[in-house]
C-alpha cells in the first residue's frame, strides 16, 4: 500500500519534471507561431493580366517594389478620378522614393476597358500608373484573390445602360507582394503619403 503510494508520487514527480522540461519548448514554439502569423500577410497579390500597353503582367513584374492597387473602371466619373488623382499626389509627394512604389489600376469593367481604353485613361494622371485589364474570367479570378467586390447594375441613364459598384479602397502590398494595408475611399492623400513613407523607411 505504502509502496504504491510512493510509486504514484514518483510518477507524479516524473510527470511534473517532464512538463517542466517540455513546457519552455512548447511555449517557444507557440510564440514563434504567433510571430509568424503576425508577420505573414493576410493574402498575396496574385494576378495574370494585360496592361494598357498590351503587355502581359503578373505580380512578379513588380517584385521588390511596393504596389499601390486600386480597382475601378474608366467610365467612372467620380470615385475613380478622385482616387487616381490622390494616387498622383501621393506619387509626387514620395519624391525619390516613388521608384520603390508601383501604382496599379485594375479594371472591374473588362467589357469596356480594353487595354486601349485604359491607355486613353490612366496615363493622363501622369503618375506612372499601370492600367490592368483582362477577360471577364481573369478579372473575376483577380477579384477573388484580392477579396474585392464588384457588380454591374443596369441603369438606363448611364452610358451603355449600366454602371458598376466596386470596392473603393486603396490597397498596399509589400515588396514580396504580401498585403500590408488598405485605406478607405476619400482618405486624404497626405495621410496616405505619411503612412506610406513610414512603412517604406522601416
Determine the interface stretch with other proteins among 14-22, 48-56, 130-138, 161-169 (rule: CB under 8 A): 161-169
Which of residues 57, 90, 142, 166 is near other proteins by CB under 8 A? Answer: 166
Q: Closest Cα partner for 174 from 23, 24, 42? A: 42
Pick 123 or 178: Cβ nearer other proteins:
123
Full DSSP string of 77-143: SSHHHHHHHHHHHHHHHHGGGGGGEEEEEEES-TTT--HHHHHTTGGGG-S-PEEEE--HHHHHHHH
How does 40-74 read in b/e, with b if 16+ C-beta sit within 10 Å? eeeeebebebbbbeeeebebeebeeebbbbbbbbb
Beta carbon nearer to other proteins, 61 or 126: 126
**Of the candidate residues 186, 191, 194, 199, the single one contacting other proteins (CB under 8 A):** 186
Q: Which of residues 93-132 bind other proteins (CB under 8 A)?
A: 120-121, 124-127
Position 200 contacts other proteins (CB under 8 A): no
Q: Candidates 90, 189, 192, 196: give the one binding other proteins (CB under 8 A).
A: 189
Q: Which residues bind other proteins (CB under 8 A)?
A: 74-75, 77-79, 81-82, 84-86, 88-89, 120-121, 124-127, 149, 153, 157-159, 163-169, 182, 184-186, 189
Amino acid at each position: 500500500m505504502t509502496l504504491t503510494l510512493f510509486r504514484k508520487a514518483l510518477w507524479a514527480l516524473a510527470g511534473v519534471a517532464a512538463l517542466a522540461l517540455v513546457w519552455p519548448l512548447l511555449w517557444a514554439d507557440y510564440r514563434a507561431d504567433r510571430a509568424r502569423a503576425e508577420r505573414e500577410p493576410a493574402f498575396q497579390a496574385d494576378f495574370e493580366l494585360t496592361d494598357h500597353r498590351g503587355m502581359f503582367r503578373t505580380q512578379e513584374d513588380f517584385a521588390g517594389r511596393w504596389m499601390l492597387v486600386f480597382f475601378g473602371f474608366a467610365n467612372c466619373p467620380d470615385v475613380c478620378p478622385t482616387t487616381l488623382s490622390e494616387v498622383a499626389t501621393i506619387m509626387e509627394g514620395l519624391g525619390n522614393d516613388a521608384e520603390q512604389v508601383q501604382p496599379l489600376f485594375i479594371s472591374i469593367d473588362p467589357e469596356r476597358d480594353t487595354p486601349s481604353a485604359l491607355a486613353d485613361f490612366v496615363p493622363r494622371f501622369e503618375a506612372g500608373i499601370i492600367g490592368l485589364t483582362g477577360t471577364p474570367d481573369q478579372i473575376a479570378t483577380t477579384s477573388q484573390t484580392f477579396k474585392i467586390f464588384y457588380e454591374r447594375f443596369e441603369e438606363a441613364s448611364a452610358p451603355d445602360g449600366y454602371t458598376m459598384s466596386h470596392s473603393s479602397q486603396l490597397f498596399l502590398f509589400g515588396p514580396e507582394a504580401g498585403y500590408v494595408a488598405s485605406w478607405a475611399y476619400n482618405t486624404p492623400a497626405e495621410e496616405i503619403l505619411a503612412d506610406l513613407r513610414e512603412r517604406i523607411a522601416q
